[in-house]
Amino acid sequence: MATRKGSDNHFPLVRLVPGAAPGVPPTGQMFLYAASDLTLNVRDETGHTEPLGASASYTDPLTTRGDMVRRNASATGRMAIGAAGYLLGSDGTDPGWVAQYVAIPGFIDGGTATPATATTHVWLRVPFGGVIESVTTVADASGSAVVDIKKRAYGGGAASSICASAKPTLSGAQESTDTTLTGWTTTITAGDLLYWVLDSVTTCKKILCTLKVRRT
C-alpha cells in the first residue's frame, strides 16, 4: 500500500496561533482567529466579534413563520413579516415593509360635448384585491359633475354603489380629492367589476376619476 505524504493533501494547512484580536478587516471580508483562551472567533468589517466553538452562544432571533433578520442603526434583530400586499423596500437607510399602491382610472369622454348622464361610461375587472384609500376627480375645464362608482362580483349579480352619499364630485372646480371616503365600501376582491356612472355634469366634456388602491 502506498504511503500518503502531506503534499498529497489537496487542501492547504491552516494553523491558528492564539493571540490578540486582529484589526478590522476590509469591507466585505471577515477574519477568523484564535483568542488567547483558545476559542475561535470571527470579526466582521464593523469590528463586531462573535465567538465560535464550545464557548460560543447564539440565540435565534426568529420566532415566527416569515420572520427575517434585519440590521438597523442600533442592532441586528428580528423583523416580522409585513401585512398582505406589502413589499420589502428601503427608505435609503433601513429595510422595511412598503405598501404597494395602484391607480385605477375611469375616463369619461364626451368628445366635443358634455357626456351623457345616467350612463355607464367605463367598466373594468380588477385582477387583484385591495383597499381604496382615496379618489381624485379631474376635468378638462372648471365645472360641476357627480360620478358614481359601482361594483359587483364577477360571474353575475347586480352592481351597487360603493360611494354611499359621498360620490366623487366637482363643484365649480376642475379637480378634487377625497381621502375620507365617508360611508364607502372600500374593499375590492380580486375579480370584482367596477363601473363609472355619470350622474350629472355641466361644462366639463372629459372627466378622469381615479381610485388610489392599496393592494392586499
- Give tens-digit pLDDT for 144-179: 999 999 999 999 889 999 999 999 999 999 999 999
Lookup: cell for 112:
366635443
- Does residue 57 carry a pLDDT above 60? no
State the average pLDDT over residues 186-200: 97
Domains in the chain, number: 1
> Which residues, 6+ apart, have CB-to-CB distance to 2 below 8 Å?
none
pTM above 0.95, yes or no: no
* pLDDT on residue 168: 98
Residue whose entry in the numeric block shows the C-alpha cell 356612472: 197
Lookup: cell for 191:
375579480
Q: What is the 8-class DSSP label of residue 8?
A: G
- Does residue 190 carry a pLDDT above 90? yes
Residue whose entry in the numeric block shows the C-alpha cell 381610485: 211
The CATH number for 176's domain is 2.60.120
In a domain, 74, yes or no: no
Full residue range of the structural domain in which residue 176 is found: 101-215
In a domain, 64, yes or no: no
Dihedral sign from CA coordinates of 180, 139, 149, 114 = positive
Lookup: cell for 30:
471577515
In a domain, 140, yes or no: yes
In a domain, 209, yes or no: yes
Of 197, 211, 209, the residue nearest 126 (C-alpha): 211
- Does residue 24 carry a pLDDT above 50? yes
- Does residue 135 carry a pLDDT above 60? yes
Higher-confidence residue of 42 and 212: namely 212
The answer to whether the beta carbons of residues 167 and 198 sit under 8 Å apart is no
Q: Where are the alpha helices (DSSP H) in the chain?
A: none
CA distance linking residue 135 with residue 192, whole number of Å: 18
The answer to whether the beta carbons of residues 119 and 198 sit under 8 Å apart is yes
* pLDDT on residue 121: 95
In a domain, 12, yes or no: no
In a domain, 147, yes or no: yes
Instruction: Give the E-state strand segments of the chain in sequence order.
Output: 31-34, 40-43, 49-52, 68-71, 76-79, 87-90, 95-98, 101-109, 119-125, 130-152, 160-161, 169-178, 187-188, 193-202, 206-215
